[in-house]
Structure 1
Amino acid sequence: MVSNPLSSPPASGQCPFRGTRVGGALGSKPQTDDWWPNRLQVELLHQNPPLANPLQDVDYKAAFEQIDYEQLKRDIKALLTDSKDWWPADYDNYGPQMIRMAWHSAGTYRIADGRGGASRGMQRFAPINSWWDNGNTDKSRRLLWPIKKKYGAALSWADLMILVGNCALEIMGFKTFGFGGGRIDAWEADRATYWGPEFWNGQAFGENGAQHAGHPDEMVTRDIRWVGQPDEEYYDLENPLGATHQALIYVNPEGPNGEGDPVGSARDIRESFARMAMNDEETVALIAGGHAFGKSHGMVSSDKIGPAPEGAPIQAMGLGWQNPEGTGFAEYTMTNGIEGSWTPNPTQWDNSYLENLFKYEWEQTSSPAGAIQWKPSNPNAPKTPDAHRQGVDHSLMMMTSDIALKVDPAYREVCQRFLDDFDAFSDAFARAWYKLTHRDLGPKTRYLGPEVAEEDLPWQDPIPALDHDVVDAADIDSLKHKILASGLSVSALVSAAWASASNYRDSDKRGGANGARVRLDPQQDWEMNRPQQLSQVLSTLEQIQSEFNGAQSGRKKISMADLIVLGGCAAVEKAAQDAGVSITVPFTPGRMDTTQELTDVESFEWLKPVSDGFRNYHNETIGYKVKPERIFLDRAQLLTLTAPEWTVLVGGLRALDQNWDGSQHGIFTDRPGVLTNDFFQVLTSMDYEWKPVDEREMLFEICDRTTGATKFTATRCDLIFGSNAELRQVAEVYGADDGHERMVKDFVAAWNKVMMLDRFDVQG
C-alpha cells in the first residue's frame, strides 16, 4: 500500500508540501469548476470585494478634483516625446501607440450587455491583458508608470489610459471633443464577462487542442462563435459577443479567417462595430481617424514571440511577448503581424489616409511575418519613413479592413463625404472618439474634470436636471394612500416599478428608474413589462401626479419617475402588512422625467432583456447558448446583487405575482400579492418531488410525494435556488420557521437598492 505523504509531519528541513500534486489550493487545476463544469458560479456576484482594494478609503472624486489638471496634461505630453532606450518610440513619438492602448482599453465595450470598456481599467488584467490583439500594450502601460507614480491614488489607471490617448491626439495636431474623468479601477480580473465559447489559456486553441501563439490566422475560432455561413440567409455572431474572433478587439485586420477578403471584412466590420454601438459614419471616422497615426508591426514571425503576460516567466515582471530577434523592439517589433504605416506623416493629423486609399489601387502582398496586407500598385505613390532608421522609406500599407472601406458602397459614400470635407471628418472623429472612450462611464453627471463636453449627446441617455422642490415625508405618506386607494393592485404597482428600475446595468451605468423611460418607446412596449397593465398603471399615476402638482402653490412637484417608484414602495408595504409584518420601504425623491426626444430608441432597445429570471421571462429565439439560470446570474451581477439579495428578491417577487405573462410558475402560494416566505418554504420542503415535464428540462411539475398530485409548476429560474448548494443555504434561511420577518426586511433592503442603482446624484 502506498502511504499518504501528508499522513505524518515532514522530517525536519523538508518542504511541508512534498509529495502533493500541482492542484487544489496550491495549484491551478483541478478545482471545483473542473470537476463540476455545469456548476452555477454564484461567487461571481461577489467580485471586487473591499478587501482587494488598497484604496477603499479614498474619495476618488475629491482626490481627482485636487489634481492640477493642466500640469497633468503637460506631464503626459512631455512623456510622449521622451524616447526610452528599452522601448524606443516610433518616429520619436509615443502618441500612436498610446492611442492604440486607449482605443483597445475602450474598444472591448459591447452594447448587448454593456460589458467591457474602459471604465475599470480591465486591460491590466487577464484575459484582456494577454489577448494577441493587445500585443505590447503592456509596454505602453509600463511607460506610463512615472505619471501614475507621481499622481498616485488621485489618478486611476482607467482614467490615465484614456487621458493619455487624448493627449496623444492633441500633440499630433488633433482637437479632441473633451475628456471626462471618473473611472474607478477594478482590483482583480473580471471573471463574470463571457468573452466567447473558445478555450482560453492566454492563447487560442485549435480544433485538435493544440495551443497557438496568438496570430489570427492560427486560430480555429471563428466558426465557433458564428451561426450559419456567409452565403446563408441567417448568418450572425453569437450574442452578446462583439468581436468577430476570439482575442480580438473588433475584427481580424487581414479579413475573415485571415483570407484577405475585403468584402467579407466589410461585413465583419459592420456587424462588430454595430455590436460596439457605432453606426457607419462613426465606424469610418474611427478607422480613418485612428489610422491617420502610427504604424503596424510585423517584422518577426509570430511563432518566435514569447508568451503573453499571463504566461510569461516570473522574471519578466508582468511583461509579455518577448521578442528574440535583434533588439526585440524598434525595427524588430511584432504585434499583429502586419508591417507598415498608412500615411506619409504618421505623427500628424491630416486626411492623407483617405486621400491615398482612394487615389491609388492596392495590390495584395505579405508582411515579413507572413501576414496579408496591401501596397499601392503605383510605384510612384508616396512613401512613408521608417519609424527608427533615418533616410529609409517604405511603401504605404493598407490592411484588408482598410480596403473594405473602399469596396463597401455605404462605407465608400461616407469616405467620400469625409474626403470632400476635412472639417466634417475631424468633427466626426472627435465625436466618435469621445463616444468610444466614454460610453461605459454612465451619465454625464458622473464625469469629472474641466474638459467635460457641454453638449448632451444621445448615447449619454440625458435626463433633465432637477428643476423643482421634492416632496417631504407628509407628501409621501399622502401620495401612498392615494395610490393604494386608486384601485391598482399590489402586483400591478410592483410590476411597473420593477420594470422601470430593473433594466439598470452597472456595466455601463445605463437604464434604471430615473427618467421614467418606461413611459416611452421602446420600453413601454416590451412584452416582459406587461404593456397593457403598465399603460393602466401609468394613466392612473399620471392623474394622481396632475392632481398633486396642480394643488401646489410653490415649486414642489413630483415626477412620474418618482411616482412610479413610490407606487411600488407603497405596494410592497401593503403586501408585507397583509403578511403580518409592518415595515416602511425607503423612498428617496429627486428623479426627473426625460422625453422621447432625449431617448435614443435604437440604442435603448439593446437594454431589452433576452432573459429575465426575476419575471420568469426567457426568449429562446434570440440565441444565448446558455441555460436560463446562467443568464439570470448575469442579470443579477449587472444589478450588483449579492447572493442573498438575489435570492430574497426572487422569493419576494414570486410571492408578489410578478411573472411577466401571469403564469403560475414559481408562484408557490395560495396568497399571491402577499409578501410571504411561501416560495422558500415550498422550495426547501421534502414533501414534494420535482419532475421535468419533458426532456428539455425547462419546465417542472412539483408533485406531492404522498398523492402524486401536481401542486405547483416551476422553471429552471425557480429551481436553481433549491438545487445550487450556495443558493439553497440562503433559501433555507428564509424558509425556516423564523425566516419570514427576516425575509421581508431583506427583501425591502434589496428592493430599495435596485430602485436607487441609478441615483448617482445621491450616491457617495
Structure 2
Amino acid sequence: MFKPSRLAVAVAAATLTPLLLAGSVNATPIGAPTNKFWWPEQLDLSSLRVHDVRSNPYGADFDYVAEFSKVDYQALKNDIETTLTNSQDWWPADWGHYGGLMIRMAWHSAGTYRVHDGRGGADGGQLRFDPLNSWPDNGNLDKARRLLWPVKQKYGRSVSWADLMILAGNVSLESMGFQTLGFAGGRADDWEADEVYWGKETSMLSNEERYEGGELERPLAAVQMGLIYVNPEGPNANMDPLAAAQDMRESFGRMAMNDEEIVALVAGGHTLGKGHGAHKPADCVGPEPGAAPIEEQGFGWKNSCGKGHSEDTVTSGLEGAWTQTPTAWSILYLDNLFRMDWEQHTSPAGAHQWRPVDKRMHEIVPDAHIASRRNPPVMFTTDIALKEDPGFRAVAERFWKNPEEFDAAFARAWFKLTHRDLGPRARYVGPEVPEETYIWQDPVPEGNTLSDRDVAKLKKAVLKSGLTVPQLVRTAWASASTYRESDMRGGANGARIALAPQKDWAVNNPQELAQVLSKLGAIQADHGKVSLADLIVIGGAAGIEQAAREAGHKIDVLVTTGRGDATQEMTDVVSFAVLEPKADAFRNYYTGEAYMPPTEMLIDKADLLGLTIPEMTALLGGMRVLGANADGATAGVLTDNPGTLNNAFFVNLLTMDNEWSKSGEATYIGRNRATGKAVYTATSVDLIFGSNSELRAVAETYASNDGEALFLSDFVAAWNKVMEADLY
C-alpha cells in the first residue's frame, strides 16, 4: 500500500489555507498532520472516548425507554404506512410503494452485526453515520431516511432512528401482506460514529487484505470492504453459485445465521422489491454522502442520467425484480427459481446476473415506473446458489413445497436479524414483543433479591470456605467479564461459567474453576435463596474487601442481587463459544488466536466492557495486585504481597529504581538499577501504562502519595460496573 512520506504530507499541509473553525482557539488547520500521523505505532485510545454524553443533545438523564413507552404505537405504525404509498417527485416509489426500499434499509441497518465481537447491528442507528452511511452496499438508503424524516420529526425524541428504521421494515412487510412475529423497541440513538474495525482495505469493494490463509479475518463478517454480507454477483463478481454458497455460509454464519435462516432471509428478502442498475455507474453516479458537496445536504450518489431516479435509478448495478408481484408477499420467488432454467447475462450497468432461458418469461414482470413495459424476472448468483448448493437446495425445496413453513421460517429469521443485537429480552419494549423466548436471546430465569443482611452473611461464609482472594476474584471476573456492551451478551447473570462451553475455557483454568464452584455450590445449598450467579459476584466482593483489609483499608463492595441461574438447555453452546476470550489483558492472558497485538486487545476488551480510560487503568492495576492473572501467572504482579489491594502496581511500575528490558516477544524483566537483580516480570499490557503518555498520566495519579484512596474508590466502582453490566 502506497503511503506518502511524512515530509511530503507536511509540506502539502503547509501550503493549505489554514481554515480554522470560527471562534475556536484550538482548531487545527485542515490538512495538518495529527499525532497519529507522526507516531503511527502509538496505542489508539480513541474507542474509549466515543459516545461522550456531551455529544447527546438530550443530556445524560434522558431515558429513551421511558419516552418510547409513551408513544401511541399504532398511530406510529399508521404514519409509517402512509409514508410507504405517498410517492415523492424527488424520489418516486417503485410501483408506488416504498416497501422494498424500507425493507432493505432495515436489513442493512441490522445486517452489520457480527458474532465474534458483537459489533455492528441496528442498535444506535449507526446507518446514519459514515462509514456505513456511505458504503457502496448502502447506496441510496439516504433517500429512505429522508422519506421517513416527517415521521421522525413528528415523534422527535420519543422514537429513535434506530427503532424507526427497523419498524419501517416491519410495517413494509405487513403492508405487502406478510405477518411478522412482532417488534421490540428500545434502541437508543448514538450521536457519534462507532469506532469499529471494518477491515484493512483502503478502497471500497476490495478484499485483498481480509483473507489470511484462505480464511476470512476475524472479527470481520462481510467478504468485501463496503458490503453488508457477500457480493451478489458471486465472489469478486465471479458467477460461480457454489463459490457464492461458500461465501454465504461464512458471512451469514458470522452474523449468527444457519442454513435454514440464510435460505429464508435470501428468499424472503428477494420476494419483494427490485435491484437498480439502469445505467453504468461510472457514467452517471456522483460521490457518496461522505464525499458529496455541501449543497447536496447529506445526499449522495447523485445520478445525472435521464431523470436521475425512477427508470433511471442506479444503485447496485443489478437490475430487475425477482417476482411478478414485487409489492405483494408470495411464494413466487421460489417458484421462479425452481420452475425456470436460468442463464447468465449482464444488466444495463454491466453487472453479472441471471435471466430465464425461456424467452416467453421475459415479459411477465411489470415495470416499476413505465406502465407499458414488461420485464423478465432476474436472479443474482447468490440466488442461484440456493438452487445449486445441495444443502441450501434441500431447505429451499422444502420451503417451496410448504409455503407456510417458509413464512414461519422467514418470520423467525427476520425477527432474529433485526433484534439480535438488542440484548436480552428484558430490554425489549412495546406492545408487539413476542411472548416466545428464543435460545439466541440467552434466556435467564429470574433470581431472588437478597437483603443486605443476607449478602453480609454470604460474604462471611465465602471467606470461611477456604477459597483464596485470587480464586474468588478470578472466578467473579471470569463470569462477569464475558459481557459485551456491543450486543449485551455474556455477563454474570445466568452463571453460565458453570455450564458448557464456559466451564471448559482454558482462560478459566477449568480444574481450579471446578473446585471453586464446588465450594460455592455447597454454600448455595446451605443458603437456599441465593443463585450461583449472585454468589459468584458476592464471592468476588468478599475477596476484594478482604484484600483491602490486608492493606489497612476498610471498604464495602456493594452487590446488587437478583441474578438467575441458566440451565444447559437454555444455553446454545455454539453461540456461546464465540465469547471465549482469545486475550484478556486484565488477566494477562493472550493466545495466538487473538486477532490484534496484546495492547490493542486490551483496548478492545475495555471498549467491549464499556470502560473509560481511568476505569480500565484502575481495574488492571487492581487485578494485578490481587493476583488475578490466568493460571496464577506472575507477570505484571508488581507487588511483594499479592492478594493485597493497594496501589503497588502503579508505584512499582513508575519507579526509577527499576529498569526494564525485553526478554521475549511481549515479555519483559524489571531489574533493580543498583543491584542488577531481577525484581519483576511484565508483559506489554503492563508496561504500556508507563510507556503511553496518556495512560501514564492516569497511572501517575494512582501512584502518587495521595493517590491510593482514589485508586481504591475507582477500582471498586469499575469492578461493580463490570459485575452489574448485564443487569437491566
- 1:602-651 Cα deviation digits (max 9, x unpaired): 1011111121111111111x251x31111110110111111010001000
| Structure 2 residue aligned with 1:360 | 340
Q: Distance in 2 between matches of 1:709 and 1:339?
A: 73
Q: How does 1:79-478 map to 2 (within 5 A)?
A: 79-190=83-194, 192-199=195-202, 204=203, 216=205, 221-228=206-213, 235-303=214-282, 304-381=284-361, 383-466=364-447, 468=448, 470-478=449-457
| Structure 1 residue aligned with 2:4 | none
Q: Distance in 1 between matches of 2:322 and 2:212?
A: 34
| Structure 1 residue aligned with 2:625 | 655
Aligned partners of 2:20 and 2:29 also within 8 Å: no
Aligned partners of 1:654 and 1:679 also within 8 Å: yes
Q: Distance in 2 between matches of 1:436 and 1:37?
A: 37
Shift in Å, 1:365: 0.6
Q: Distance in 2 between matches of 1:598 and 1:357?
A: 37
The one-letter code of the counterpart of 1:327 is K
Q: Distance in 2 between matches of 1:101 and 1:689?
A: 56
Q: Distance in 1 between matches of 2:92 and 2:531?
A: 58
- 1:676-721 Cα deviation digits (max 9, x unpaired): 2111111111122221124xx3111112222322211111111111
- 1:226-260 Cα deviation digits (max 9, x unpaired): 123xxxxxx21000000000000000111111121
Matched, 1:513 2:492: yes
| Structure 1 residue aligned with 2:9 | none
Q: Secondary structure at the match of 1:454?
A: coil
Q: Distance in 2 between matches of 1:120 and 1:515?
A: 26
Aligned partners of 2:18 and 2:29 also within 8 Å: no
Shift in Å, 1:62: 1.7
| Structure 2 residue aligned with 1:43 | 46
Q: Secondary structure at the match of 1:55?
A: coil
The one-letter code of the counterpart of 1:337 is G
Aligned partners of 1:58 and 1:153 also within 8 Å: no
Aligned partners of 1:289 and 1:429 also within 8 Å: yes
Describe the shift of the 1:144–1:430 C-alpha distance in structure 2 as closer, same or farther (beyond 3 A).
same
The one-letter code of the counterpart of 1:193 is V
The one-letter code of the counterpart of 1:654 is R
| Structure 2 residue aligned with 1:578 | 550
Q: Distance in 2 between matches of 1:17 and 1:439?
A: 43
Question: 1:715 is matched with which residue: 674, 680, 683?
Answer: 683
Shift in Å, 1:34: 1.6
Aligned partners of 2:19 and 2:29 also within 8 Å: no
Q: Normalized against structure 1, the TM-score is what?
A: 0.91
Question: 1:699 is matched with which residue: 653, 667, 683?
Answer: 667
Q: Secondary structure at the match of 2:355?
A: strand
Shift in Å, 1:58: 2.9
Q: Distance in 1 between matches of 2:19 and 2:506?
A: 60
Aligned partners of 2:20 and 2:27 also within 8 Å: no
Shift in Å, 1:261: 1.6
The one-letter code of the counterpart of 1:347 is T
Aligned partners of 1:579 and 1:676 also within 8 Å: yes
Shift in Å, 1:432: 0.3
The one-letter code of the counterpart of 2:114 is R
Matched, 1:615 2:587: yes
Q: Distance in 1 between matches of 2:118 and 2:443?
A: 17
Percent of pairs with identical residues: 54
How many residue pairs are counted as aligned between the two chains?
Answer: 705
Describe the shift of the 1:24–1:196 C-alpha distance in structure 2 as closer, same or farther (beyond 3 A).
farther
Q: Distance in 1 between matches of 2:135 and 2:27?
A: 27
Q: Secondary structure at the match of 1:602?
A: helix
Shift in Å, 1:494: 0.6
| Structure 2 residue aligned with 1:26 | 29
- 1:3-60 Cα deviation digits (max 9, x unpaired): xxxxxxxxxxx99969xxxx97132542122222222121321211111111124321
Describe the shift of the 1:481–1:618 C-alpha distance in structure 2 as closer, same or farther (beyond 3 A).
same
Aligned partners of 2:259 and 2:391 also within 8 Å: yes
Q: Distance in 2 between matches of 1:135 and 1:297?
A: 10
Describe the shift of the 1:742–1:339 C-alpha distance in structure 2 as closer, same or farther (beyond 3 A).
same
| Structure 2 residue aligned with 1:689 | 659
| Structure 1 residue aligned with 2:14 | none
Q: Distance in 1 between matches of 2:32 and 2:225?
A: 23
- 1:640-664 Cα deviation digits (max 9, x unpaired): 1110100010000010111112221
What stretches of structure 2 of length at least 5 have no aligned partner?
Answer: 1-16
The one-letter code of the counterpart of 1:605 is A
| Structure 2 residue aligned with 1:593 | 565
Q: Secondary structure at the match of 1:580?
A: coil
Q: Secondary structure at the match of 1:381?
A: helix
| Structure 1 residue aligned with 2:480 | 501
Describe the shift of the 1:523–1:15 C-alpha distance in structure 2 as closer, same or farther (beyond 3 A).
closer
Question: 1:78 is matched with which residue: 70, 82, 90?
Answer: 82
| Structure 1 residue aligned with 2:694 | 726
Q: Distance in 1 between matches of 2:125 and 2:161?
A: 6
Q: Secondary structure at the match of 1:363?
A: strand
Q: Secondary structure at the match of 1:691?
A: strand
Shift in Å, 1:741: 2.1
Q: Distance in 2 between matches of 1:574 and 1:623?
A: 34
Q: Distance in 1 between matches of 2:676 and 2:324?
A: 80
Question: 2:530 is matched with which residue: 529, 554, 558?
Answer: 558
| Structure 1 residue aligned with 2:602 | 632
The one-letter code of the counterpart of 1:451 is E
Aligned partners of 2:446 and 2:562 also within 8 Å: no
Q: Secondary structure at the match of 1:597?
A: helix
Q: Distance in 1 between matches of 2:193 and 2:462?
A: 46
What stretches of structure 1 of length at least 5 have no aligned partner?
Answer: 1-13, 205-213, 229-234, 550-556
The one-letter code of the counterpart of 1:46 is R
Aligned partners of 2:20 and 2:30 also within 8 Å: no
Q: Distance in 2 between matches of 1:356 and 1:607?
A: 41
Q: Distance in 1 between matches of 2:35 and 2:285?
A: 33
Aligned partners of 1:129 and 1:138 also within 8 Å: yes
Q: Secondary structure at the match of 1:661?
A: helix
| Structure 2 residue aligned with 1:673 | 643
Q: Distance in 2 between matches of 1:691 and 1:311?
A: 47
Q: Distance in 1 between matches of 2:402 and 2:297?
A: 48
Q: Secondary structure at the match of 1:509?
A: coil
Q: Secondary structure at the match of 2:42?
A: coil
Q: Secondary structure at the match of 1:440?
A: helix
Matched, 1:605 2:585: no
Q: Distance in 2 between matches of 1:300 and 1:90?
A: 17
**What do you get for the CA RMSD once the two structures are aligned?**
1.5
Q: Normalized against structure 2, the TM-score is what?
A: 0.95
The one-letter code of the counterpart of 1:454 is E
Aligned partners of 2:18 and 2:30 also within 8 Å: no
| Structure 1 residue aligned with 2:67 | 63
The one-letter code of the counterpart of 2:679 is K
